[in-house]
Amino acid sequence: MNHWSCPTCNRDYAYELDACTWCHVPLVRVTPVSAEVLATTEVAVPSVGHEDVPYWCALVRGADGVGSIVKLDYAINVGETLRFGRHTEVDLEVVGILGTGVMGRGLAELLLARGHRVVLCGRSEDGLAAAKAKVLDRLGRVMDEEQVRQAECRLGVAVGYAELSSCDVVIEAVVEEMEPKKVALAQAEAHMRSDAILATNTSGLSIDDLANALQRPQNFGVLHFFNPANRMRLVETAIGGRTSPETAAFLDEFSRSLGKVPVRVAATPAFAVNRALMPLLNEAVRELEEGVADAEAIDEAVRLGLNHPMGPLALADLIGLDVVANIMTNLAERTGDDTYAPRPLLRKKIADGHLGRKSGQGFYVYER
């Protein structure tokens, strides 16, 4: 988006020259702060992992009227304003991540791709080594070798939370259960600077209950990313009764700096998306129990009939059946509505160790 301008005749050049071809004076580099999106298109490129790795090309026009085409790793709509560089409010050096599961790794991938330094915290050296290898493998599908090497230099791993003292913001992404989250949040906060922001990626646990474990609840809020974190644009942001206005504003601004669209939701059970999604997943499991159709047919019918990108049973496998059941159980308990309670077949899958993609089998069987 940079262009070069002649300070004498004001002619603009899309490429760098030693001097203006008309005035023969040195050109001045112009770096716009923002631009209006005039048109956009999505491009999918087959990757080594046999996936479609999308990117977006946008035709934009800066405030000075100069047009350009930019490549983005996130979707953007016509009429939106594209901002270049990071905002001062979120010019962050280091982001900590608690957890090495699917979401923890996805957040690390997203943040590294955005140029952040990342401290990934886990419970064991072996788990961290495996998580690091997976993150770098994923980045290698969309980056060249030099970019991956630079990303690896920005990725630190740590057993425990002592390394979080260098972080500007820390995102918790451990198991979706109240007590483990409380323990992780409290231990992380003990090592963080007093001005650092602590956020939870909970799918809908009570933020005020989680905040009870903290000494600085004013610096705490919800950043609920969706899987896969590098592709899904939505981030549900929520605040508790003791969250400060500054922290509340930061949650939205930080999300935007990552190319996401923050949607502020009330701190109610499961927020907005999962409150609507969980009954759909549960009913799909009921249909499978009752023999309405097999898993493939149920998913195909819902996908085509509702224009969803994937069917509900495949989505449950992607999320993790244990995570789905935890969200449903929490919803049922907090709302007092048993219709949210996970179906018997879902519970049986979990008891058998069939947790979805991460275990190699759920409603479908996957190559590990």
CA count, 13 A, side-chain hemisphere, 239: 18
**CA 85/CA 108 separation, integer angstroms:** 20
**CA 287/CA 275 separation, integer angstroms:** 20
Catalytic residue among 236, 255, 326, 354: 236
**CA 66/CA 78 separation, integer angstroms:** 17
Distances in Å between the Cα of 267 and the Cα atoms of 30, 35, 193, 201, 229 are 44, 34, 26, 13, 21
| CA-based radius of gyration for the chain | 23
Please answer whether residues 5 and 27 qualify as being in contact, where contact means their C-beta atoms are separated by less than 8 angstroms. Answer: yes
Active site residue 289: no
Catalytic residue among 224, 287, 326, 354: 224
Active site residue 87: no
Active site residue 203: yes
**Six token digits for residue 304:** 């085509």
Catalytic residue among 201, 203, 230, 326: 203
Catalytic residue among 230, 255, 274, 282: 274
Phi then psi for 312, rounded to 5 degrees?
Answer: -65, -35
| Residues with a known catalytic role | 203, 224, 236, 274
